[in-house]
Amino acid sequence: MEVIDLAWWKLGLAALLILALAGTGYLARLGITRSLLIAALRTVIQLALIGLVLEALFASSAFYWIALLALVMLLVAGREVVARQGRRLRGWWAFSIGTGAMFVSSFTVTILALTVVIGPEPWYAPQYAIPLLGMMLGNTMTGVSLSLDRLNDSVWRQRAVIENRLMLGQTWQQALEDIRRDAMRSGMMPSINAMAAAGIVSLPGMMTGQILAGSPPAVAVKYQILVMLIITVGTGFGAVMAVYWGGRRLFDERERLRLDRLVKP
Amino acid sequence: MLENLSVGTLSNVSLRIPGGQVVCLSGPSGSGKSRLLRAVADLEPHGGRVALGDTAQLDVPAHQWRRRVVMVPADSQWWFDEVGGHFPADARAGLPSALGFPPGVMEWSVSRLSSGERQRLALWRALVLEPEVLLLDEPTANLDNDSTEAIETWLLDEIRRRQIAVLWVAHDPAQIHRVADAHYRIHGTSLERVNGSD
């Protein structure tokens, strides 16, 4: 089965529909016109650029170019994690903890999936490595930023409780127990919900794309199951590390709560 | 016990509290009474040296120090739904009658406690840890006169019996007169011993 290529002018038809929506929003004063148009434009430009990058990358298949792209993706995700937190740790800590947690979990799980489960030749073949890492990073980023945001916010709100627990001789881990559990839950919730609704409420985008591209549904489904499982694993371990490191940083070496290490939103 | 301690605006505070004795601390609000207690409990960065017998504060992990030097804050916090969750299992039964609670208070929901009741339970919560030092921040602020004196009597009794060294922040001169073995007032950046306290 051959994939039907889309001509650029046909995308123009879809863009016309966006213009129609923007026009409706403008006439009805819904206040979405500006952000809608900017976001649509960004989508077109960003995706067109990454298309060019991927074309070049697939042509060369050199390891260092793939590593470079992976590094750029990681750094951008790290910046996004910082931006999504209301209260965050002062200085480089917010960036380092978020990026470190994403690096360890997404890269480990992606490499494991590539070498052990899928096994392309070579293992870093960009056709597999880049989309897989992209999906991992995108979801881990959401999990890590949600859990860190929840952690910092709850610690800020419940500082009196935490200090009272410390006064009674509890360790910082014990004093943070409930908050850590909450933070983990908010980080994991999107992945768990996505797994629960997959195939019934929603057809996941990757599987849909693969089917559109001509894969037999049975193969697409297997890839989708693999991706959802490793995404959840990556998100979970990423959140565990972020919450542990973030929590540790909120206390000093004498187990004192140090809210001065958080900056106001 | 305290040697050249400095925290916030206070500096060079030196103080020794023998076991079983109460040292009262008074001073205008904002003068750093609570911060001094927090420094002794090692909840706030501070200078100087604090020791308990031969053990210096920095010799033991912070949570072990706070297990022996327990602070009861002015507004105690309760994080479980039920009162009993905050106490170790064997302490739930032996609630002293002097605190004035009916049996079954351990099953109460925390939200139904008044501020005075919380304060009294917080004192018991600290005592069951069998601390060697108690740091009390206005422990009777939300109590009426009758129960204040009942709590004082009970506390002093426990303090003498268990030989606990106590640093007690108080406002009321009458209370200080009743409970203190020694009385210090915060004057600017230093502590001043008030004479006439026996």
| Structural domain includes residue B168 | yes
Q: How confident is the model at residue B9 (pLDDT cuts 50, 70, 90)?
A: confident
* pLDDT value at A16 more than 70: yes
Residue B99: the pLDDT is 87
Residue range A169-191, pLDDT digits in tens: 999 999 999 999 999 999 999 99
| Structural domain includes residue B79 | yes
Q: How far apart are CA B145 and CA A60, in angstroms?
A: 85
**Partner-chain contact B79 A168, CB within 8 Å:** no
| Chain B residue with the nearest C-alpha to that of A172 | B63
- Chain A neighbors of B75, CB-CB under 8 A: 160
Residue B4: the pLDDT is 66
3-state SS, chain A, equals CCCCCCCHHHHHHHHHHHHHHHHHHHHCCCCCHHHHHHHHHHHHHHHHHHHHHHHHHHHHCCHHHHHHHHHHHHHHHHHHHHHCCCCEECCCHHHHHHHHHHHHHHHHHHHHHHHHHHCCCCCCCHHHHHHHHHHHHHHHHHHHHHHHHHHHHHHHHCHHHHHHHHHCCCCHHHHCHHHHHHHHHHHHHHHHHHHHHECCCECCHHHHHHHHCCCCHHHHHHHHHHHHHHHHHHHHHHHHHHHHHHHHHCECCCCCECHHHEECC
Residue A160: the pLDDT is 95
- Chain B neighbors of A163, CB-CB under 8 A: 43, 73, 77
**Partner-chain contact A256 B79, CB within 8 Å:** no
Residue range A219-233, pLDDT digits in tens: 999 999 999 999 999
Tell if the pTM clears 0.80, that is, is over it: yes
Assess contact for B173 and B194: CB atoms under 8 A: no
**Partner-chain contact B66 A172, CB within 8 Å:** no
- Chain B neighbors of A171, CB-CB under 8 A: 63
When divided into structural domains, chain B yields a total of: 1
For the residues B19-30, what does the mean pLDDT come to? Answer: 90
Residue range A24-42, pLDDT digits in tens: 999 999 888 999 999 999 9
| Structural domain includes residue B198 | no
Q: Would you give the distance in Å from CA A247 to the centre of its chain?
A: 21
Q: Which of B45, B66, B79 sits opposite A161 (nearest CB)?
A: B79
Assess contact for A86 and A264: CB atoms under 8 A: no
Cα A253 to Cα A47, A243, A260, B45, B68, distances in angstroms: 46, 18, 15, 11, 18
Q: Which of B45, B64, B77 sits opposite A160 (nearest CB)?
A: B77
What SS3 class is residue B182? strand
pLDDT above 70 coverage of chain B, percent = 96
Preferred mutation among A157, A254, A261 to probe B, highest tally of B CBs within 10 A: A254
- Chain A neighbors of B62, CB-CB under 8 A: 166, 254-256
Q: How confident is the model at residue A2 (pLDDT cuts 50, 70, 90)?
A: low
Q: How confident is the model at residue B142 (pLDDT cuts 50, 70, 90)?
A: confident
For the residues A194-207, what does the mean pLDDT come to? Answer: 86
Instruction: Describe the crossing of helices A93-102 and A63-83 by its angle, rounded to 10 degrees.
Output: 130
Q: How far apart are CA B157 and CA A109, in angstroms?
A: 62
- Residue A189 burial (CB < 10 Å; 0-12/13-18/19+)? middle
Token couple for B17: 């509290």
* pLDDT value at A1 more than 60: no
Count CA atoms within 13 Å of residue B107 on its CB side.
3
Assess contact for B86 and B78: CB atoms under 8 A: yes
Q: How confident is the model at residue B198 (pLDDT cuts 50, 70, 90)?
A: very low
> Which of B1-5, B32-36, B54-58 is least confident?
B1-5
Looking at the complex, report in whole angstroms how far the Cα of residue B114 sits from the nearest Cα belonging to chain A. Answer: 17
Assess contact for B179 and B170: CB atoms under 8 A: yes
Instruction: Give yes or no for A161 touching B (CB within 8 A).
Output: yes
Task: Name the residue with higher pLDDT: B92 or B177.
Answer: B177
Q: Which of B43, B68, B70 sits opposite A163 (nearest CB)?
A: B43
**Partner-chain contact B63 A166, CB within 8 Å:** yes
- Residue A204 burial (CB < 10 Å; 0-12/13-18/19+)? buried
Domain ranges of chain A: 1-60, 61-263
Looking at the complex, report in whole angstroms how far the Cα of residue B196 sits from the nearest Cα belonging to chain A. Answer: 33
Residue A111: the pLDDT is 95
Instruction: Give yes or no for A177 touching B (CB within 8 A).
Output: no
What SS3 class is residue B96? coil
Domain with B87 in it: 2-193
Q: Identify the CATH number of the domain in which residue B121 sits.
A: 3.40.50.300
